[in-house]
Structure 1
């Protein structure tokens, strides 16, 4: 809705005037992660516009959540490199499913928590960020994986999810407690998220 306001201003060439540009900056300051420090230094007296309130109490379509996670979610693997007394191999492997949003989207995060029923919402102590995170393995195998088997993710996020599921299977088998299994998990992890080579995927797409 805020994006549409900027579009309307630009359609009327308001961005070509100082006054119109300030209006656009004020709107942008209320969008996404706000504006950069560079813009703040260039434009003084920025006044954020009011964000439209969308009132809803539930997610009517699970594909909406799948689409949202395709853009905003993260499937990753934490391998504790310090020695762990709780495992025979000395390293702990943990799957994590996370979504991060600006703190002003608390209502959205609470809605997601209510929908899946097993979230913890964390507030960043230094930044205006919130994070929904699931790390409990039983919640991952009984809630998260079945959900995304029924509601497919889009794009490269689906590839990360499939690799994530491979690691979940290895953990279920107990392979993460062996040197060979741990090494296999390390290899899978290294090719996920920022480590993924997208050339073949983009050509196929």
Structure 2
């Protein structure tokens, strides 16, 4: 299955997700780990599309997700940067374009090592909280812990 850039843009607009999670990691200096990822989830009957995306972007993995669903996941920083560059050259048409640009800002902060500082992590939390609505309460708790400590 060969994918065109326009097809990938349309598909990711509808099915893709740029997500940033922040988890406690006591062995790290700042106490938290920043985990950016690009994900597309589909029913197992559409697994060939996930493998086609993996070939298209030349990175990532396809793995079982939940029940009869599979996920194409990309977590490597270099690959995430390449995916963002693709979407800068071939812009997403929905609000997902804004999400991708925020995601890219977080990647740039990580590349600069800012995720290893309290101030940088607070900046990442601010950006991520405008992306991931479901994660806002957890991000706010982390923000409060960082401000208190």
Report TM bin, short chain: 0.7 to 0.9
Deviation, 1:112, is 1.3
For residue 83 of structure 1, what is the aligned residue in structure 2?
25
Question: Is 2:86 the counterpart of 1:140?
Answer: no
For residue 36 of structure 2, what is the aligned residue in structure 1?
95
Rounded Cα–Cα distance in structure 2 between residues aligned with 1:115 and 1:78: 25
For residue 67 of structure 2, what is the aligned residue in structure 1?
127
Which structure ranks higher in relative contact order (CA pairs < 8 Å, sequence separation ≥ 6)? Answer: 2
Q: Is the 8 A contact 2:20 2:34 kept in 1?
A: yes
Deviation, 1:164, is 0.5
Rounded Cα–Cα distance in structure 2 between residues aligned with 1:83 and 1:158: 30
| Structure 2 alignment gaps of length 5 or more | 135-149
Rounded Cα–Cα distance in structure 2 between residues aligned with 1:152 and 1:193: 20
Question: Is 2:2 the counterpart of 1:63?
Answer: no
Q: Is the 8 A contact 1:84 1:92 kept in 2?
A: no
Structure with larger Rg: 1
Counting only pairs closer than 5 Å after superposition, residues 147-166 of structure 1 correspond to structure 2 as 147-166=86-105
What's the C-alpha RMSD, in Å, of the aligned pairs? 1.4
- Deviating runs (4+, > 2 A) in structure 1? none
TM-score w.r.t. length of structure 1: 0.62
Rounded Cα–Cα distance in structure 2 between residues aligned with 1:178 and 1:194: 24
TM-score w.r.t. length of structure 2: 0.84
For residue 49 of structure 1, what is the aligned residue in structure 2?
none
Quick check: which one's strand share is greater?
2
